[in-house]
Structure 1
Amino acid sequence: MTSKKFPVRPAHPERNCWGCDRYCPSHDMACGNGSDRTQHPIELFGEDWAELGLDPFAAIPVEPAEPEVPTA
């Protein structure tokens, strides 16, 4: 059994629960406790969610160290 292909840019992500492979309508969830639906990553992180964190060579921002103050 294979899982469904996860849609990268669904037309209306707010209409479904994205917590499992069922993709239930938000008003009729078949799994879980039914208290709240799982949001699609596009709703949480924006249009470029699929590219986040994929560049292993991206520079990690480092805060500069405070210069040492010479004591006299």
Structure 2
Amino acid sequence: MAKKFPLHPKHPERICWGCDRYCPTDSLACGNGSGRTMHPAELLGEDWYTVGDWGFDDEEEAQPQDSNATHLPAS
């Protein structure tokens, strides 16, 4: 099974997004060429998944995650 594709990676410039291996940019293993494949957020902006049909099943996954948010249980 393929790895889950991240919608908002923290450092997309550090990874090649050309296949399911997600190799570091300094050690490409899939042989897809001499350069890395950019993440759609780098090319189209942070809202890249809202335009077109990317095949994501869950709209909740498409919501950006706030890394500074505190998650409290509901009372």
| TM-score, normalising length: structure 1 | 0.69
Identical counterparts, % of pairs: 66
Cα offsets for 1:10-62 (capped at 9, x unmatched):
000000000000000001100115410000000000000000135xxxxxxxx
Matched, 1:20 2:19: yes
Aligned partner of 2:67 in structure 1 is: none
How many residues were matched structurally?
53
Q: Which has the larger radius of gyration?
A: 1
TM-score norm. by structure 2 comes to: 0.66
Instruction: Indicate if the aligned counterparts of 2:16 and 2:37 stay in contact, CA closer than 8 A.
Output: yes
Looking at structure 2, the residues matched to 42 and 14 of structure 1 have their Cα atoms a distance apart, in angstroms, of: 10
Higher helix share: 2
Q: State yes or no: 1:43 paired with 2:49.
A: no
Partner of 1:8: 7
Structure 1: gaps spanning 5 or more residues:
55-72
Q: After TM superposition, where is structure 1 displaced by more than 3 Å over at least 4 residues in a row?
A: none
Structure 2 spans left out of the alignment, 5+ residues: 54-75
Counterpart for residue 70 of structure 2:
none
In the alignment, the residues of structure 2 paired with residue 18 and residue 33 of structure 1 have an alpha-carbon distance, to the nearest angstrom, of 10
RMSD (Å) for aligned C-alpha atoms: 1.2
